[in-house]
Structure 1
Amino acid sequence: MNRAEHYKVVELAVPALPAASRAFWQPWLPEIVSTCELPDVVAIPLLNGEDGPWRHYFPEETPLHSFEKVGASARAHFFDVRFSIECIMSRMAGGDLPEACHFLGVLSHYLGDYGEPAHYYERDITLLLPPPPDRLNCNPHRLIEDVPSTVTRLDYSPRVLGDSTDTIVLRLEGRLRDLYETVLATIIPILNALYRRDMPAASRQTDRAVAATAEVMADVLHTLACLHLRQWTPDERHALAQCRLDELEPAACDVEFNFGCRPLRGAVTLDKTGRAQPLQLRIPEGTAAAIRPAEGLCVVPHALPIRGTRYLAALEYDLPPDAFTRLTATAGLLAGVTPQAECIFAVETDGTERFRTRALREADPAQPLSVDITGCRRLRLVVYTDGSTDKLAFPIWAWPTVSRLPRTEG
């Protein structure tokens, strides 16, 4: 983002906060924006490994530029979220709010960079979407980044991300995953608009990215204010006691390549007509089972004997060991789609298997599960198939939730 949009991320976020959080941060807005541009101001000395009074605002390892990062996942592009949150929270706990605000300003800059469409596919976007002759050999980074934003307010209710460093980082990374998907979806529409010299249309797409980025910033500010003031609504306390895994970014993911190397949410398109099939399961109801919509993750196991792969799909999550005590979900195969390979669902905590289903077929009712994960640091959800290579399987972890007993302290 350019200078104006970096400031806008914070200036949009603060007015969107609930009253108590807004009253807390509004007086500190000048301190926050005072360091919004610091990463750009000291970029050269930072890259040169130089020191200075500004150096403590940055992690020990120099942040990479977007074009230096490898991988087509949201996690490959994360900035050092934990460093930022730890520094802000420690300063707030010590009563040094001005310094906490300075760290927040730097965080807002990196969040703005993460939410900038120009920072993705910048090396090959003009190969994927060639410019017209009058834009030949353009600088796509500058072309996209210079599109002005026209958004002036957020229509958004900020969420509480956590009540500790670990839980804040966990949910914030999930929000960054959502932001990544929103931002990437704007790149081609922005370029198409610029190629036909339709700046208002390009700005509307930029507004989507800026607003989504400011919403994440609002989540961060609201979370920190609630934690500092020790004030949460009853609904927020309830939300803190549980976490849906489909709202998080996995620490590792091993699924079928042809479906994008990621877990599928909401629906899956199976036929040549392009009609999306909503996720659904056969849910036990009394002595029978009915096909019902299912929210969660469809993880397509590998179905080809490619070197280095196994006939499975696996998701792994790094959890704070004292944050959650139970995993609940409903496991089964996508209902109404045949043929599918048989699947076995398993849950592992820190390398030890804690739960395993029998082999399930598409016609079988989905199986509810509740697993003790007390102390778990690495949660692994695995689906094994029977090795059939002539048909895929579409196993679903529905409503996958880690939870704890609600805390009652003020």
Structure 2
Amino acid sequence: MYSIENIHILVKNTVDGRIRFSKEYDDKAFFELVEKRLGGYFPMDWKAIHIEKSEYMGSDSKRMKLIAEMPVAVSESGSLLDPEDIIIRDSQLTDKERWYEKMATLAKRARVDVESIDRYTEDEIKTVFRKFIEEMTSCPEVQPVQRLRIRKKAKVQTDSEIIPAPGLFYWVFLNPEIMKSMILSDDEQRRIGAMKLHDEGWIPLWGCALSKRQANLYLRAYYPNYVAFEPVKAPTTLREACEFVNDNHRHHISPQGHKFSVALSDGNKIIGVAIIGRPVARWKDDHKTLEVTRLAVKEAYPNLCSMLYRSAARIAKELGYDRLITYTLVEEPGSSLKAAGFEWIGESDGGSWNSNRRKRVDRHPIGRKNIWEIRFG
């Protein structure tokens, strides 16, 4: 999986935030632990931070300084904990048992009695746990780990009142290279994929926030120097845009030319581009129409597509064009286009550019496509 030597550090989400273990693993020891002792999967709440050995040895590494700020797991006597016994035990627990342990931990701190695990369903345990956590966020001026102030036993809600588990938690990510933070819901984190975020330099620090408000409180308390991530507009050339498309587009190579291109940056490097040119279909080229011929983004960042479409439409309007069109595959929902104000106007027949007179190799999907447009009144 890794072509260079890495150091791996195990971390775990707890009710107080993310903690790291002092034990370090090289590639061989790490994959032996995961594949042979854990069956190839990390249990819930466990993650690993992967660091190149050269970066790990660098004392001035911003990423290493960030990791060093994470609390280290210690026992009640103050000795460093070995993660292996804990993670192997956690891997043998059911989801219900894991949730019950979390609930019981908070209940013990609040001096609230809870019944045995057999008396609850898994959804009821999650609901009681959420009730405890909500009490933690009820006092914003207090530090996150000090917000638990419960005086009475939590009431278990009925089945009709239970809050569904999907989207229950929010994740806190930091990127030391650009000193930015990002908060994602469970659903957003799963849709993007942890490895895509990791590849872009985003480190997951906490995955137990019950609301964006709580996640923001956590960031203000522990990482005040980090600001919320926002994509920024960036100038680009056709060559740069084409290189980005060739590296990141899912099913197309770059076009031959453009009228203009727009780009978005994370403050350090390009993370999304849109290339706008004359309509590919000649009969639509009326000198008043432009087409978004390519759009590509880094999939680790949500909502970039709609931002690029809106920028392209705004520039096309300022240049005096009447409308902007684009095409998507029929299996793509077009959510970003709808958000940018485009309307679906039909389907194209698709087809190949190859012919007897002019032989071509199709390097893109040739099936039917949705047609979208935005008109400028």
TM-score band, normalised by shorter chain: under 0.3
What is the TM-score normalised by the length of structure 1?
0.26
- Structure 2 length-normalised TM: 0.27
Considering Cα pairs closer than 8 Å and 6+ residues apart, tell me whether 1 or 2 has the greater RCO. Answer: 1
Q: Which has the higher helix share?
A: 1
Structure with the largest fraction of strand: 2
Larger radius of gyration: 2
